[in-house]
Structure 1
């Protein structure tokens, strides 16, 4: 099961949830994984900073925090995504907000599939995997469809 929620003070993005679920499952299959319970929680910068401080002893904002509860070949976990940081990253990178949001959504899945981004080499592999996954998503979109409703 893949679920999407938003904090009360954050407007949930209008996602193509059915399409996203099948995309996430397809990406996971590509890494020999099955999808168990995934929970995406959309929040703002202050909540993600507090979570980073409380659970990871990090004192900075980030776009996503992934809590891995995977077992064997079944990925599972909770992912907290700051829509504020996603928006500011999209602006800084000159990228479409919807594309950046989907990159972050799949970034968490890739972590659950075993990819890391701690070293420069790992980060390069992660970026390549994100791009490959985003290409899959673009292929699945119908003519004239956009990433967000």
Structure 2
């Protein structure tokens, strides 16, 4: 298992990396898979917007872009998170910054596990899985 935390044009948020890594691993194992390599990149809105344009042909801000390198049940990928958008979303959703950051951190992992969020039905399933994962985090914290 290898989970790394990196920065692009911003600082890495003050998260407990060991706790987050243990949590991510538990979520992956609970879903019948194992971690290969997961790389988190915390970045600015501008950095992620440029990536969204270049790699996905999308011209809008987003909180996370997930590049999936999963093979069989070995979960691997690069997850780029805009700390700016996470802060804005926390204000919009009236929740704590770190609660929203944790939700986005696990959101990317859930994508690597094959959970989508394109339709309303898929979004409901994604939100349910995020909520279950956040409960697990509170239990091991």
> For this structure pair, what is the TM-score category when the shorter chain's length is used for normalisation?
over 0.9
Alignment of 1:72-111 (within 5 A): 72-111=72-111
Match of 1:56 in 2: 56
Q: How many correspondences in the alignment?
A: 140
Say yes or no: does 1:116 pair with 2:128. Answer: no
- Secondary structure in 2 aligned to 1:139? helix
What is the rounded CA distance, in whole Å, between the counterparts of 2:104 and 2:122 in structure 1? 16
What is the rounded CA distance, in whole Å, between the counterparts of 1:12 and 1:25 in structure 2? 20
Say yes or no: does 1:29 pair with 2:29. Answer: yes
What is the rounded CA distance, in whole Å, between the counterparts of 1:111 and 1:24 in structure 2? 13
Uncovered stretches (5+) of structure 2, i.e. residues with no partner: none
- Secondary structure in 2 aligned to 1:60? coil
Q: What TM-score, normalized by structure 2, do the two folds share?
A: 0.98
Q: Deviations over 1:98-149 (max 9, x none)?
A: 00000000000000001000000000000000000000000111xxxxxxxx
Alignment of 1:60-71 (within 5 A): 60-71=60-71
Uncovered stretches (5+) of structure 1, i.e. residues with no partner: 142-149
Cα distance, 1:14 vs. partner? 1.2
